[in-house]
Structure 1
Amino acid sequence: MKKLNIYFTAGIPKLEDTTEIMKIIQDSGAKMMEIGMPYSDPVADGPVIQKAHELALKNGMSIEKLFEQLKSVKDEIKIPVILMGYINPVLSFGFEEFCKKCSDSGVSGLIIPDLPPVEFEKNYQKILEKYNLKFTFLVTPETSEERIKYLDSLSSGFLYAVSSSSTTGNENKTVNNEDYLQKLSEIDLKNPLFIGFGIKNRNDFEIVTKKADGAIIGTAFVNILLEQKDWKSKSVDFIHSIIN
């Protein structure tokens, strides 16, 4: 069975909604979740997730607050929880302290797209291993096969293949990049392959998971949290519409 990974930004629609959203994602049948750590300059994200970051920060979300929330439900959440964010806030917090808090809070892995692989190998890989945290790198259609293999060798958990090199949620990009998906499926990867960026519905999910182990949905889910008053039931309906 192909796996669905749902991304959302911590601290929206309201500051204390994070844990309820986590439970909804798990109970609705997703196999993994990514929680975005709000940041003031989310350069890789499109307008929807940028708006989510702004709202979360306005609501008072912080890394410290997020760890409190995660710790409060760590015994209830059984699917992997991955934190996704930018390196500057993590370094400001203190990288090893951050990893320790992740370990204490039930986090199983990290995605930090702007952490260069060379820096990762040199300064951070051993710290992550010390706290038993997985780390995921991203590849794009422009990434060479040699570099895909290199990033796969550094990754643990899964390899994140973005369906295009644009920002998240770009409506003009198609997930149906057959050549790219075929190329990825033919590489002997160490990790499971998950496809993300631009996946909005069941059809998109089915297209990309023909060639991959799973798919990541972010913008379409975050949009429900931002725009729907009855986001709780709409979130459940949305996840069911993808995998049921």
Structure 2
Amino acid sequence: MNRLQQLFQKQQKDLLSIYYTAGYPNLGDTLKIAETLEQNGANFLEIGFPYSDPVADGPVIQASSKQALDGGMTLHLLFEQLKDLRQKVTIPILLMGYVNVVLQYGVEEFCKKCREVGVDGCIIPDLPMYEYEELYQPVFEKYELSNIFLVTPQTSEERIRKIDALSNAFIYLVSSSATTGSNLALSTQSSDYFKRIADMELKNPFMIGFGISDKATYDSANKYASGAIIGSAFVKNLKQDDLEGSIKEFMVQFSV
């Protein structure tokens, strides 16, 4: 089992995952942010590799991606930055980004590099499920990478069950159909959606993301899921001139 699978075997409640963009706010901050987040209580991390056309992302993540790209961030550089990852960080790490970047890099080479640096899995929202199953699943399994699928309020039960069968760590439950950074409004509709997924008794646990911004929305998500994923609110809080201080300031609200 990879670190991600081990984590979910050991703990299935109150998990906190943080997303941030590689190369933001400064090009060389990627590993330092991971270290500081682990020291301040994050259970696992999602490191975004930036792309020039991030269609699922809201303005905060889009702006961080543009700044990182303008600063020189590439997938090649990210893997170089992560070469000492496992000397400094012990919690599970996922890479998150768009399929075009992975295809340009080469799927097998990408998976191989993930394994070499100690990455445990990937979230590639625009990778079609059938392409993964027919073309790439053997490659991901060869390098012991978990591929994380997204479920939205519009996803059919048939597709959710198919995703559950293809998954081996957790399922990413998108809180709404909005882009990242939208505030989670815990309406009756969203509560019914979360409960509907929970009642399906899937073999994989699920994490709720999109719109989780603070302790209140994190706690609300935890009523239904194994935990929550915070991205835009964290990225927005990062201060270029006080990186560690701004991370600690953000994470203190989640400390018990």
- Could you say which residue in structure 2 is the equivalent of 1:195? 208
- How far does residue 174 in structure 1 lie from its aligned partner after superposition? 1.5
Matches within 5 A, 1:24-173: 24-171=36-183, 173=184
Structure 2 CA distance for aligned equivalents of residues 65 and 101 of structure 1: 12
Structure 1 vs Structure 2 CA RMSD: 1.2
- How far does residue 104 in structure 1 lie from its aligned partner after superposition? 0.1
Task: Identify if the C-alpha distance between structure 1 residues 81 and 202 changes in structure 2 by more than 3 Å, giving closer, same or farther.
Answer: same
Matches within 5 A, 1:3-42: 3-42=15-54
- How far does residue 85 in structure 1 lie from its aligned partner after superposition? 0.4
- How far does residue 113 in structure 1 lie from its aligned partner after superposition? 0.3
Report the identity percentage: 50
> Which runs of no fewer than 5 residues in structure 1 stay unpaired?
none
Structure 2 CA distance for aligned equivalents of residues 243 and 153 of structure 1: 34
Moved over 4 A (4+): none
Structure 2 CA distance for aligned equivalents of residues 124 and 73 of structure 1: 25
> Which runs of no fewer than 5 residues in structure 2 stay unpaired?
1-12
| Aligned-partner SS, 2:203 | coil
Contact 2:25–2:240 at 8 Å: present in 1 too? Answer: no
Contact 1:185–1:211 at 8 Å: present in 2 too? Answer: yes
- Could you say which residue in structure 2 is the equivalent of 1:218? 231
- 2:200 is matched by which residue type in structure 1? I
Contact 1:175–1:198 at 8 Å: present in 2 too? Answer: no
Q: Which moved more, 1:138-147 or 1:8-17?
A: 138-147
| Aligned-partner SS, 1:74 | helix
Structure 2 CA distance for aligned equivalents of residues 16 and 175 of structure 1: 37
- 1:174 is matched by which residue type in structure 2? A
- How far does residue 150 in structure 1 lie from its aligned partner after superposition? 1.0
Aligned pairs, number:
242
Normalising by structure 1, we get a TM-score of: 0.96
Does residue 181 in structure 1 map to residue 211 in structure 2? Answer: no
- How far does residue 118 in structure 1 lie from its aligned partner after superposition? 0.4
| Aligned-partner SS, 2:153 | coil
| Residue from 246, 250, 254 that aligns with 1:234 | 246
What do the CA deviations read for 1:175-223 (whole angstroms, capped 9, x no partner)?
Answer: 4521011111111112121000000110101101111001000000010
Contact 1:33–1:80 at 8 Å: present in 2 too? Answer: yes
Contact 1:202–1:243 at 8 Å: present in 2 too? Answer: no
Structure 2 CA distance for aligned equivalents of residues 21 and 182 of structure 1: 34
